[in-house]
Amino acid sequence: MINKQYILRERPVGLPTAATWSLESEPVPEVGEGQFLVRQHYISLDPAMRGWMNDARSYIPPVQLGEVMRAGSIGEVIVSKHPKFPVGSFASGWGGVQQYCLTNGDNWYLVDPKLAPLPAYIGTLGMPGMTAYFGILEVGKIKAGDVVVVSGAAGAVGSIVGQIAKIKGCTVVGIAGGADKCQYLLDKLGFDAAIDYKTEDINAALKRTCPKGVDVYFDNVGGEILDAALARLRMHARVVICGAISQYNSTEGIKGPSNYLSLLVNRATMQGMVVMDYAKDYRQAAQEMGSWMAEGRLVSREDIYEGIENFYPTFLRLFSGEKLGKLVLKVIE
């Protein structure tokens, strides 16, 4: 059996190029004692992957040159010498951008394909969903009546953030790129308002949609949108820093938020979060979100592309915005 895998070859400056990775074909390795082999079905494509490619101190070590590109994944156990992961079971973990993953099970967990479709386990019930859940509830500390603004609102994290805020009784404004995405937020996800940052003046649009200001801003994008949201904060507002996709490929350094002194004027808090910190509570969160999904109160949407050979162009959709919901690559042939 041959395992096609993407190997990191260069550290990109700006947007990754075709030369950033090479696609290699290697024999599937032997399974040793305490190990198991996963035939991967789906790879999770996430903005955070861009950060892991930089040789910089961060919340996890960078991917090394010559290594398989790191990614979340889900698949079926097809060979096992590990008692907890029997053949025929399904599991999710850090399988990387490849078709087969040999692992000792660290950071892998079993999933039940009868309870939810496999892609949902790497979306709403996986890292993006957990990020949304703990970010908006634990860091954003939303309460009923809050005005909540979320950027990247049609994305894997943002779409769940907004829906959870609606479930909790907040007024929710989503910022997304394009009329289709904005219509989706209003029609399918029940947001109260949507802002198309590609065509609207973001400051004017926030003033229009949040006339009394913003209690919680959940930021996935950074840059000018973060600045505009800071300018609209209410007293004691909370700003959740989850990501900064507008800045990840910048070749001119990160643009810091010029309006950060709004934190002072409004006695507001800006706090960063990393989802791994909440690992002990993932199970409880997945159960609650699963029940919201079953009740039809939480829409989980994945945008699925096919073929491991298409990893590079599909990955670029994260930054061009040409996708709706959680970006997933199907790699099983």
Q: Which residues bind its own copies (CB under 8 A)?
A: 57-59, 222, 227, 241-244, 247, 253-274, 277
Residue with Cβ nearer its own copies (49 or 118):
49
- CB nearer to its own copies: pick between 13 and 261: 261
SS (H, E, C) 6-48: EEECCCCCCCCCCCCEEEEEEECCCCCCCCEEEEEEEEECCCH
Q: How far is the CB of 211 from its own copies (least distance, A)?
A: 14
Q: Considering beta carbons, is residue 58 or 287 the nearer one to its own copies?
A: 58
How far is Cα 135 from Cα 277, in angstroms, rounded to an integer? 11
Q: Residue 20 CB, nearest distance to its own copies (Å)?
A: 21
The whole-angstrom separation of Cα 21 and Cα 94 is 18
Beta carbon of residue 52, minimum distance to its own copies (angstroms, whole number): 12
Q: Among residues 102 and 231, whose Cβ is nearest to its own copies?
A: 231
By C-beta, is 74 or 202 nearer to its own copies?
Answer: 202
Q: How far is the CB of 292 from its own copies (least distance, A)?
A: 26
Look at residues 315, 326, 280, 328 and name the one whose alpha carbon lies nearest to residue 52: 315
Residue placing its CB nearer to its own copies in the complex, 128 or 222: 222
Residue 111 C-beta: closest distance to its own copies, Å: 27
User: Helix, strand, or coil here: 264?
Assistant: helix
Burial zone of 53 (CB within 10 Å; 0-12 exposed, 13-18 middle, 19+ buried): buried
- Taking the C-alpha atoms of residue 85 and residue 77, their distance in angstroms, rounded to an integer, is 7
| Shortest spacing between CB 203 and its own copies, in angstroms | 13
Q: What is the largest CA-CA distance in the chain?
A: 62
CB 312 within 8 A of CB 18: yes
